[in-house]
Chains A and B, each alone.
Chain A
Amino acid sequence: MTALAALIRRDIRIALRVGGGALIGVLFFLTVVVLMPFAVGPDLALLSRLGPAILWLGALLASLLTLDRLFMADHEDGSLDLITMSRTPLELACAAKALAHWLAAGLPLIVATPVLGLLLNLDMVATGAVALTLLAGTPALTFTGMIGAALAVTLHRGGLLMAVLVLPLSIPVLIFGVAASQAAITGPLSFGAPFSILCALSLVSLVIGPFAAAASLKHGLD
């Protein structure tokens, strides 16, 4: 237990230091969302209709942006060797790393959502709905993305491969995340159904992600 806590603490600390990944994701999110009103034009009704989709797209891309480095950095400096050798099961270590990544890079996106909602003419309920769906959905993005990050290490190819592998897996999360937000804002569908599916996607990826990533890392021992 102390081992996993130490791993989470270390990864968060690195992400929050200068040059770490946490700030990059939030800045990217901010850029995408801030630029969107300029691209769409001053149509407030259109903006608020597109708002949830824009926020979700921004969050999706921002969380993938830093995810490909999840195992690569540890692989390059040899830390991954020691983590593989340790008494801590690799699956748990993978889960701890993903959790740390979500806490450092995913949670700030959700915190930033209410502020960015203002720029997209979203009211309180709409912003709340988007933030809630992001809270339920971004763990799925991180934990499925982790599989791609582990494959990127074992196949010795970086970011591009990871994007190709992970994006299809994140499409269901995007669909149900935006569907749930829209349902809360405009109806007529109920919020509960897509939101439950979103939560289910997160729970499934919480279970599958660490095992798949650990299997990939073990298979690619080199």
Chain B
Amino acid sequence: MNGLKPGQMQLSGRGVICVRGGREVFSGLDFEAVSGEAVAVTGPNGSGKTSLLRLIAGLLIPAGGTIVLDGGDADMTLPEQCHYLGHRDALKPALSVAENLAFWADFLGGERCGAAESLATVGLDHATHLPAAFLSAGQRRRLSLARLLTVRRPVWLLDEPTNALDVAGQDMFGELMRDHLARGGLIIAATHAPLGIDSRELRIGGGA
């Protein structure tokens, strides 16, 4: 079908229109990304970068147009194959680092690798029993990244992923993204800063 190699996926949007609060944020947006490709969504504040990610994640309903994933798991909807890493960390301050991660691993289910292993990868293995309330902003971001590693999903939707990460953290994250792409995943990232990996730019809004 549609010229994709076996095992390859393509995420594409056609004529996507986003309306929020009665205001048209963007319209007629076309985009596509295939396996192993990263797309950096750029644009001025308020141009709809986050809205685009939330449209793909099924957290907003498009006012027009279609977003489809070809070649993915036919039994699952697009949002079920996405990881969404938003501004908010989805961490519970009362639970420990390990408990937070274990909950998302159990709740999201599916294929996974070890929680301890992914905590070590993001550099939080020394703090597993610390309540998440005591984590710094950068550590919270690292814990969110551990969720992406623990539960495998082909599409990563990242909203300003490098926010609050230090230089070493950004390098580590670049490495994680390269691994994910090499495994045939795809990444859509809304970002102002350089992503740290080769990516195609999708500029929306402003026309500037």
Residues of A that sit less than 8 Å from B by CB:
2-3, 5-7, 9-10, 13-14, 17-20, 76-79, 81-88, 221-222
Contact = CB atoms under 8 A, between A and B. Distances in A.
A26 B47 CA distance: 48
The 3 closest A-B pairs by CB, nearest first: A78-B88, A6-B106, A85-B79
B106 A20 contact: no
A10 B103 contact: yes
Contacts of B90: 77-79, 81-82
Contacts of A6: 102-103, 106-107
B60 interface: yes
A6 B91 CA distance: 15
A85 B103 contact: no
A95 B147 CA distance: 25
A78 B86 CA distance: 8
Interface stretch (B23-31, B92-100, B182-190): B92-100
Nearest to B79: A85
B107 A88 contact: yes
A85 B82 contact: yes
A3 B109 contact: yes
A81 B57 contact: yes
Contacts of B57: 81, 85
A2 B109 contact: yes
A13 B131 CA distance: 13
Interface in B49-81: 57-61, 76, 79-80
B173 interface: no
Contact of A3 (B60, B99, B107): B107
Nearest to A80: B90
Contacts of B82: 85
B87 A83 contact: no
B94 A14 contact: yes
A84 B59 contact: yes
Contacts of B89: 77-78
20 contacts: A6-B103, A10-B107, A14-B94, A77-B88, A77-B91, A77-B92, A78-B90, A79-B90, A79-B92, A81-B84, A81-B88, A82-B84, A82-B107, A85-B58, A85-B79, A86-B80, A87-B80, A87-B110, A88-B107, A221-B60
Interface of B: 20, 57-61, 76, 79-80, 82, 84, 86-92, 94-95, 99, 102-104, 106-110
Given A85-B80, A86-B108, A222-B60, 18 more contacts: A2-B109, A3-B106, A6-B107, A10-B92, A10-B107, A13-B95, A14-B95, A76-B88, A77-B89, A78-B86, A79-B92, A81-B59, A82-B108, A87-B76, A87-B80, A87-B109, A87-B110, A221-B61
A77 B89 CA distance: 6
A20 B93 CA distance: 11
A87 B90 CA distance: 17
A221 B109 CA distance: 23
Contacts of B106: 2-3, 5-6
A85 B59 contact: yes
Nearest to B91: A77
Nearest to B94: A17
Nearest to B100: A10
Contacts of B108: 3, 82, 86-87
